Amino acid sequence: MRAVLATGPGALTVTRVPDPAPARDGVVVAVRACGICGTDLHLLSGELGEDRFPLIPGHEPWGEVVAVGAEVSGYRAGDLVAVDPSLHCGACDPCRRGRGNMCERWQAIGATRPGAWAEFTAVPAANLHRLEPGFPLAVAPLAEPVACAERGLRRLDPRPDEPAIVYGAGTMGLILAILLDARGVGPVTVVEVNPARRELAARLTGAEVRAPEEAADLRAPWVIEATGNPAAFEQALASVARAGTLLVFGVANPGARAAVSPHRIYQDELTIVGSMAILHSFPSAVDTLRRHAERLAPLVTDRYRLDDVEAALALLRSGATIKTVLTPEEPS
Ligand SMILES: [Zn+2]
Ligand SMILES: [Zn+2]
């Protein structure tokens, strides 16, 4: 099959590799589309460790089941599925406490095991989520990012009819703003540095949108930091109303530091929560996509063939895309 192979930091090739076979408890999925995201850029640069290479990236696939392992029941060839990339061992202490995203032997499809920037990908049947007939396939590439967003919103646990602020109008900030509104939380304000992305946020989320310098007086009980930038984190924390909660969703550089007032956290009884990847949130993400497909579909903005992966990555780095997907087929 054709696949994108990352052979070392910054080194990609589109090549032929052997077709995958299903494990006894797994299936092979013919990939219809697989998203690319910021995590892939970190991975490809070698920041997450050079022991990951060589690797077929791609952790946001959906597609069609084409081969089924001997021990798999409940799936057959022709089923359409989205794939949860999380591989939790199930045996370590965090896994046994129901906190698989903290797994001591954490792995993920497309991050530590072969992924889906390819014509086919072999995955455990336990990672499949069925896309029933009639499912709005235009939003299928958003299953993984929406599952991450759902996990974050469970951590934030906002109340309806109360204001919220989202820092960052990247892909995840836009998804989070839309899902807050869909849950009746609001009014929602999006704070974003980049004017082009502010325009996108206004058009796609329906939220009020401001530049950071216009947001100094904003306060809300529910605040999300979705940039990974320490300066945005400081502003986000400052904008949490008394007794409010800050969700730290953006992925900061591990060495980044921000100034925090312990007194204010005490005095105002602030809550700060983190959210890391997906935990038990994939099934509800598939439901959310079905219910809110019309609002979420415009977020899938760009499609590239596997051969054009370098152009797709350049577009992602430029910031001029929301969700770019790779597709083994000719994009229609
Ligand atoms: Zn991703
Ligand atoms: Zn584990």
Q: What is the whole-number distance in angstroms between the Cα of residue 171 and the centre of ligand 1?
A: 10
pLDDT(332) > 70: no
Q: Is 270 helix (H, G, I), strand (E, B) or coil?
A: coil
Judge if 203 and 244 occupy the same domain. Answer: yes
Number of the ligand closest to the Cα of 105: 2
Helices (H), the chain: 38-45, 93-96, 143-156, 171-182, 195-205, 230-238, 262-267, 282-291, 293-296, 309-318
Nearest ligand for residue 90 CA: 2
Q: How far is the CA of 102 from the centre of ligand 2 (A)?
A: 7
154 found inside a domain: yes
pLDDT digits (tens, 9 = 90+) for 13-70: 999 999 999 999 999 999 999 999 999 999 999 988 899 999 999 999 999 999 999 9
Q: Are residues 88 and 60 in the same domain?
A: yes
- Residue 23 is assigned to a structural domain of this protein: yes
Looking at residue 330, its pLDDT comes to 65
Does 124 share its domain with 156? no
What is the token pair recorded at 149? 């967003």
Tens-digit pLDDT profile for residues 126-171: 999 999 999 999 999 999 999 999 999 999 999 999 999 999 999 9
Nearest-angstrom CA–CA distance, 69 and 128: 13
Q: Which residues on adjacent β-strands are paired with residue 214? A: none
CB within 8 A of 172, min separation 6: which ones? 145, 148, 149, 226, 249, 250
The answer to whether residues 155 and 115 belong to one domain is: no
pLDDT (0 to 100) of residue 34: 98
CA of residue 226 to ligand 2 center, whole Å: 27
pLDDT in tens, 193-235: 999 999 999 999 999 999 999 999 999 999 999 999 999 999 9
Which residues span the domain enclosing 174? 147-274
Q: How far is the CA of 288 from the centre of ligand 2 (A)?
A: 27
Average pLDDT along the chain? 96
Q: Using the mean position of ligand 2's atoms as its centre, give its distance from the Cα of residue 319 in Å.
A: 35
Residue 131, C-beta contacts closer than 8 angstroms, at least 6 positions apart: 62, 80, 81, 82, 137, 140, 286
Structure tokens at 256: 């980044």
Count of domains observed in the chain: 2
- Answer yes or no: is pLDDT of 180 > 80: yes
Structural domain contains residue 323: yes
**Ligand with the closest atom to the CA of 107:** 2
Asked whether residue 156 is assigned to any structural domain, the reply reads yes
Tokens encoding 52 = 């990951």
What's the CA gap between 135 and 322, in Å, rounded?
22
67 shares a domain with 92: yes
Mark whether 16 and 85 lie in a shared domain. Answer: yes
pLDDT of 90: 96
User: Are residue 195 and residue 263 in the same domain, yes or no?
Assistant: yes
The per-residue pLDDT for range 287-313, each reduced to its tens digit, is: 999 999 999 999 999 999 999 999 999
Distance (Å, whole) CA 308 – CA 142: 21
The answer to whether the beta carbons of residues 99 and 151 sit under 8 Å apart is no
- The residue behind tokens 């009884």 is 269
Ligand closest to Cα of 57 equals 1
Q: Is residue 21 part of a domain?
A: yes
Residues 222 and 304 in one domain: no
Q: For residues 226 and 122, state if they share a domain.
A: no
User: What is residue 329's predicted lDDT score, i.e. its pLDDT?
Assistant: 79
Q: Residue 141 domain-assigned?
A: no
In a domain, 291, yes or no: no
For ligand 2, the distance from its centroid to the CA atom of residue 120, given in whole angstroms, is 27
Q: Are residues 8 and 115 in the same domain?
A: yes
H or E segment and range at residue 194: none
Q: Let me know whether 6 and 126 are in one domain.
A: yes
Is 286 inside a domain boundary?
no
- The CATH code of the domain that includes 202 is 3.40.50.720
CA of 312 to the centre of ligand 1 (A): 14
Same domain, 96 and 203: no
Q: Which ligand is nearest to the CA of 91?
A: 2
Say which ligand is closest to the CA of 104: 2
Binned at pLDDT 50, 70 and 90, residue 331 comes out as low
- Classified as helix, coil or strand, 297 is helix
- Expressed in angstroms and rounded, the spacing between residue 323 Cα and the centre of ligand 1 is 10
* CATH number of 304's domain: 3.90.180.10
